[in-house]
Amino acid sequence: MTFALEVNTDQWRSHMHTVSAMVKSLTGSSIVPVIKGNGYGLGQARLARESNALAGDCVAVGTVFELDEVLANSNADVVVLEPFEPRDLLAGDVWWDIAHTWPAHRVIRTISSTSGLAALSSGAGNVRVVLEARTSMNRFGFSEAEFTRALAEPATRAAIESGRVQICGLSLHLPLEQSVVADAGPGESAVTARVHEVQRWHSVWQTEAAKLGDVHQTLWLSHLSDAEYTQLQASNREMQVKARVGTRLWLGERSALTVYGTALAVHPLPDGTHVGYRQRSGPNGGTLVVVSGGTSHGIGLSAPTPAASLRQRIVTAGTGALDAAGRALSPFIWEGKQRWFAETPHQHHSMIWLPRGCVVPQVGDQLRAEVRFTTSRFDAVRGLES
């Protein structure tokens, strides 16, 4: 009952190295591979090992709960993207375990609040941190006023000056979609709104860093395009940038990644035959195929659509109408077409209909599937064993 991912190893690794080299050429610094969640479908341990070939000095994970596995498989230091929050007691227990298992210099915490910075400033031992500014994402981060006040606190200043809190730079997590061009001031070149936001925070950070003495002025950035990194470098050649890249790095060459389920049972059925838990009937003269891949693998799971354009809204409305009528397209493809679910997928397999006249697969045949990798879990990943 194998639901598998087949990786064209040479093609996938070539893409990985190309992206890494491009980012370094634009920023002057090694890429920071993001290895979070389900490891983009390939697994965190596997991506951590693959990232070693990029010879960078840092990778990123989503939460403290992902640290141990990545630290064990990566040669690089690891930055945790989710901000450290001392009031999150369960996460605090894991942070305690990490501190007593791994060298302190290998872990970098993200700090986005006065409470987080104060807790580390008053604690024992040495910690490395990046401070997160609140961008137009409005998710985590210091506002400009909070940022200035927090860094002026005597306990924080003392912790920084003594080296107990080592600041590795300022983190900016930017939105995926934003206005294309920001209004240019007198004598300024037109840049995107994201670049303008980075420039503004860079100015703030330079001012505050100058008061702190020996701290890294590096900007840790997410979701900028190559053109935007070029704009940043053109505006300030001295700007130090580290680019965090996940989806583009691991999933940017989709043709190197093939997902498939295995046909487990094939049943040509008379007209009107009822099937499955809900006993629904299929097309006249149809064939029912049971294929590996179900909800435990991420099949049938979906996130809310952004529905930003009219076309997206129309597609969403149409999909909703089909769902309400009990019909849904599966991700499984046979003879070049997506095939209909016979009913909602089960935990480990799905049931799909093939219409009359379709070539019928044999048990053991593979059916390709189009999936969302960040919500998929595969029984096997072939091609990256070494």
d(CA 121, CA 212): 14
**Lowest-pLDDT choice from 81-85, 136-140, 174-178:** 174-178
Q: What is the CA radius of gyration of the chain?
A: 25
| Residue 57 DSSP one-character state | S
What are 60-96's pLDDT values in tens digits? 999 999 999 999 999 999 999 999 999 999 999 999 9
pLDDT for position 311: 52
Give burial (CB, 10 Å; 0-12/13-18/19+) of 385. Answer: exposed
Task: Determine phi and psi for 365, rounding to 5 degrees.
Answer: -65, 155
CB 319 within 8 Å of CB 325: no
The band of 285, judged by pLDDT with boundaries at 50, 70 and 90, is confident
Residue that is written with structure tokens 């991912």 in the block: 5
CB 110 within 8 A of CB 83: yes
Give the pLDDT confidence score for residue 190 in this predicted structure: 78
- Give the 3-state secondary structure of residue 329: strand
Q: Which domains does the chain have, with CATH numbers?
A: 31-251 (3.20.20.10), 254-382 (2.40.37.10)
What CA–CA distance (Å, rounded) separates 191 from 199? 10
Are 133 and 172 within 8 A, CB to CB?
A: yes
pLDDT by residue (tens digit) across 207-266? 999 999 888 999 999 999 999 999 999 989 889 999 999 999 999 999 999 999 999 999
pTM above 0.95, yes or no: no
